[in-house]
Chain A
Amino acid sequence: MTKIDAKIPDGNLAEKWTKFKSSVPLVNPSNKRNLEIIVIGSGLAGSSAAASLAELGYKVKVFCFQDSPRRAHSIAAQGGINASKNYQNDGDSVYRLFYDTIKGGDYRSREANVHRLAEVSGSIIDQCVAQGVPFAREYGGLLSNRSFGGTQVQRTFYAAGQTGQQLLLGAYSALQRQVGMGNVKLYTRHEMQDVVTIDGKARGIIARDSVSGALERHFGHAVLLCTGGYGNVFYLSTNAMGSNVTAAWKAHKKGAFFANPCYTQIHPTCIPVSGDHQSKLTLMSESLRNDGRIWVPKKENDTRKANEIPEDERDYYLERRYPAFGNLVPRDIASRAAKERCDAGFGVGSSKMAVYLDYAAAIIRYGKGEANKHNMYSPTDEEIQSMGKAVVKEKYGNLFDMYKQITGEDPYAVPMRIYPAVHYTMGGLWVDYNLMTTVPGLYALGEANFSDHGANRLGASALMQGLADGYFVIPYTIGAYLAAEIRTPSMSTDSEDFVKAEKAVRDRLETLMNIKGSKPVDYFHKRLGKIMWDECGMARSEKGLKASIKEIQALQKEFWSDVKIPGEIDNLNPELEKAGRVADFLELGELMCIDALDRDESCGGHFRLEYQTEDGEALRDDVKYAYVAAWEYEKQSIFKLHKEELKYENIKIAQRSYK
C-alpha cells in the first residue's frame, strides 16, 4: 500500500510556513536557467505561477485550450477576493481567516495549508495593486471592502462585479511580460492529452494543437496542472463550456491520487434553468447577499406576483433560520435551504424551482442614506428610489444588467429569481504541503487541487487560493523538488516513453473518431449531468448512489459504442475535443458517486439524506470520517481508497452553527 505523506512541516502552526521558507533548498540562478517547467492552464493559478517562476529564471511553457490565456474561466469570478488585512479595524486577523475557512469547510481541510493561505492573503492584494489591478476604492483613495458568506468581518476586496476579470488580467499582464521577454513560451489552442512519466517522475506532456490536430511532445523537469475544477461533469454549471477534468484525470490515471471527488459546491444564487436548450447556468455573485434579502411566500403554491405579496406574507427563511448570519450563511447552507423551501412547495416562478432575491429594501436604505448625505430633509419616494437605485447600480450594476439580459426582467423593479447551481469543486488532485501530487514532479494548483476548502468553500476564497498557490507558494515549494534535479539535463522527446505516450493518445482519438455511432457528444453529456444532479448533487443517498454507479457504467459503454463525431482528426474539431472531455467526465462521475457512497456522513457540500440533524442540518461523523479520501486508480471502475487523517491541533472541532 502506498503511504501518503502530506509533508507538513513540524512546529507551531503559525511558524510552519516561515520556517519552511527559510529551510527549503534553493536553486541558484544559473541552474534555474536550465530547468524547464510546463504549466497547463492559464487562469489565476496558472498565469500567476508561470509569471512568478519565469521571473525567478526558470524556462516556462504555458498551455491553454482557449485562443488566449486571458480567456481562462477565472475571468468570470465576480464578487471578490478575501485577505486578512484588517483595513476595516473590525477584528480580522490571519487566525480569524484561517478559522473561518476551516469552519466554513466543515472541518474537512488541512490546518497547515489553510493557515499558510491566510498568511499570504495580504501579499496577494499588495501584488495586485502594484500590477495596476483597479480595486474599488473609497473617496479617501484607500481600498474598499465588503462581506461574504460565512464571515462576520469585511475582508473582501473587489472590482465591481468583475473581480476575477481584473485579477486575471493582472496575472495575464505579468505573464505576457515574461512572454515578451522570452522567458515563457505560450501555446494557445493546445490541449493537454496526457502526462508523460519516466522512471516514475513527471517529465512532460503530450498536447494536441487544436487547429492542426497535430500531437506534440513537450519535456519539462516539472509539470504544473492549473486546470481548474470539474463542475461540468454535471453538464449544467456556472463553469465555462470548455472547463474540463481531462488534464487532472489523465494525471490520475498515471498515478496521481484524486481527493474528495464528491465535494462539490452548489452555489445558492444562480439564474434558474429556463428550458432544455440551456447550455450553461449563470451565477449572480454572492456579494448580492450583502444587500439583497432572500424570501419565498409563506403560502404554499402562491401564484401572486412578487410585488403583490405583502411584507407579512413573506418568509425570509434564511433570516428566520439563521439569525446570526442571516442572508450571509455559507453557500452549502443557503443552497440546501432554498432546495428545502422549493421541494416543500413554496418555490416561485413558472418552474416553481426558484426563490426571490430582493433589493427593494436595500434601494430604500441606500436612497435614504444618500438623502442624508446631500442634506435633503424631506425627500420624495421617487427621489429615494432614484438615488437608491444609483447606489445599487454602482455596486452591482453589471450583475443587474446581466440578469436583465438573460431573463428579460428588470431586477431594479421586481425581485430576481434565483436557484442553486453547480459552481465549484473542492475535491481535486491530492497534493502534499508542497502542492505536489503523488507523482513526483507533478503539481496541482488552484481549483485543480483539493487542499484548502474542505467540504465547502467560502465565497471570495477561490481567487485567494489560486493566486496564493501561483504567486506565493509554488515559487518556494517547487525548489524542494527541483534542487535535486539540477543535474538532470533536458531530455529528448524521442525517447520510448514519449513515443508510447503519444501513440496511446493517437489511438484513443482514432478510436473515438471511428465509433461513428448515432448520437452527438452532448446527448451523453446531458444524460450524465442528469444522473449526477439528481443523485450526487445537493442531496445524496446510498440507494441513489448505488443505482447511479450502475447507470454511469452503462452510459460509458453506450458512449464508446454509439457516439458520433463529425469532421476530421487533423483539423479544428470542437466535437472531437468535447468527446475526449466527456469520456473523462464519465469516468470521474463514477468515482464521485463511489466517494459519496463511502462517506457515511454529511459535511459541507456533501449531504447524505441518511445523516442529518432533526432540523435538517448536516450531521458529521468526526470519529469515522475526519479524513481526506484519496483515491488511487487501479483499472477501469476500480479505485483504491487511501486515507489521510485530518488532525486538528489548533481548532476545536465543533458542529458548525450559523444560528
Chain B
Amino acid sequence: MEGNLNLTLKIWRQKNTQTAGKFETYQVSGISTDMSFLEMIDVLNNRLIEEGDDPVAFDHDCREGICGMCSMYINGRPHGPNRGVTTCQLHMRSFKDGETITVEPWRASAFPVIKDLVVNRSAFDRIIAAGGFISVNTGNAQDANNLPINKDNADDAFAAAACIGCGACVAACKNASAMLFTSAKISQLALLPQGQIEAATRAQAMVAQMDEEGFGACSNTGACEAECPKGISIENIARMNREYFSATFSSK
C-alpha cells in the first residue's frame, strides 16, 4: 500500500459496440495522491486480472498530456475536475478519501463505444482528410525565411494548432458538436499566408464532412472551451463561421 486514499469507482462497462453497457462498482484502496488517474485505473486492472476478471479497457498512450488518446468522462466532465489537463495529467491529489468517482466513455453518436471506455474517434481523421491541410507536396517549398509572418498571427495560429484531437469538446457539448475541433484547424491555416489560398474550399469541405459524420450544431454555450485541455478558444469557431460564410457567399 503506497497511499491512503480509499475510493469507490462506478465505471461504465460495455463488451463491444453491439452490446448494451452498464455501470459496475469497484472499491480501490491504498491509492497514493502522487498517482495519475490512469495509474489508479492500472492498480484496479491488475487486481481484476489477478482475480480473474476482465480489466477495464481505456485508451491511453503518451501519459504526458499531448497525444490526445486518453478520454475518460469523470464525474460528469471530460478529463475530470481540473481545467487544462488531460486524464493522464489528472492526479489523485485532486480527490478526497472516501469519494465516489463515476467514469464513463465520451458520449456522442459520432464516437461509438468500442469497449468500456474506448470510443471510435476516426471521424476526426476524416474531417482532417477532407481539407485540414495545405496542398504542398514534399520538395515544393521555398526557403522558410522567404515568408515572414506577423508574430501575432503566428502566435494565434500556434494557439489553435495546440489542439490534441482528444474529443473532449464533443463530449462536453450537449449537441456533441465538433465545431471547436474543426475550427481550430481551419483557423490555424487561415491565419497563415501559406494557408489562405485554400481557405474557402477548406472551410466548406471540412464543415461538410463534420456534418456528414453526425456531429451536432453549435449553440454557443462555451462548454467545449471550458473543458478543452489545451485551452482552444471559441474565437476559432467565430473565425471558422466567417471563413465558411464568406466561402459560401462567394462560391461560384
Contact = CB atoms under 8 A, between A and B. Distances in A.
A59 interface: no
A520 B130 contact: no
A188 B118 CA distance: 14
Interface string B163-177: 011000000000000
Contact of B66 (A134, A162, A277, A475): A162
Nearest to B154: A137
Nearest to A69: B125
B115 A169 contact: no
Q: Could you say which of B52, B67, B138 has the most chain A C-beta atoms within 10 Å of its C-beta?
A: B138
Interface in A73-97: 73, 75-76, 85, 87
Contacts of B124: 68
B55 interface: yes
A402 interface: yes
Q: Could you say which of B38, B43, B129, B133 has the most chain A C-beta atoms within 10 Å of its C-beta?
A: B133
A529 B188 CA distance: 41
Interface in A491-506: none
Given A75-B66, A131-B133, A242-B61, A566 B89 contact: no
A406 interface: yes
Nearest to A133: B161
A173 B133 contact: yes
B135 A177 contact: yes
Contact of A132 (B134, B138, B143): B134
B138 A571 contact: no
B61 A126 contact: no
Interface in B28-69: 32, 34-36, 38-39, 42-43, 46, 48-50, 52-55, 57, 59-69
B34 to A, nearest CB: 4
A237 B154 CA distance: 33
B62 A402 contact: no
Nearest to B185: A173
A269 interface: no
A177 B138 CA distance: 12
A70 B165 contact: yes
A192 interface: no
B42 A139 contact: no
B54 to A, nearest CB: 5
Contact of A566 (B38, B48, B63): B48
Given A68-B165, A134-B157, A137-B151, A566 B49 contact: yes
A188 to B, nearest CB: 6
Contact of B161 (A126, A134, A174, A275): A134
A282 interface: yes
A141 B149 contact: yes
A52 B136 CA distance: 10
A51 B135 CA distance: 11
Interface string A169-183: 100111011011000
Contacts of B165: 68, 70
Contacts, number: 227
A564 B47 CA distance: 12
Given A87-B145, A241-B63, A279-B39, A132 B15 contact: no
Interface of A: 48, 51-52, 55, 66-73, 75-76, 85, 87, 123, 125-132, 134-143, 159-160, 162, 165-166, 169, 172-174, 176-177, 179-180, 186, 188, 211, 238, 240-242, 274-280, 282-283, 401-402, 405-406, 408, 471-472, 475, 518-520, 522-523, 564, 566-567, 571-572, 574-575
25 contacts: A67-B69, A70-B125, A71-B61, A71-B68, A123-B139, A126-B141, A130-B140, A131-B134, A160-B158, A162-B66, A166-B158, A166-B161, A169-B161, A173-B133, A173-B134, A180-B129, A211-B114, A277-B32, A277-B35, A280-B63, A405-B85, A518-B50, A519-B50, A574-B55, A574-B57
Interface of B: 2, 15-16, 32, 34-36, 38-39, 42-43, 46, 48-50, 52-55, 57, 59-69, 84-85, 89, 91, 93, 114-115, 118, 120-122, 124-125, 128-145, 147-151, 154-155, 157-158, 161-162, 164-165, 188-189, 192, 194-195
Given A68-B124, A566-B55, 14 more contacts: A70-B125, A73-B61, A130-B194, A141-B154, A162-B162, A179-B125, A277-B2, A282-B64, A472-B139, A522-B42, A564-B50, A566-B49, A572-B16, A575-B55
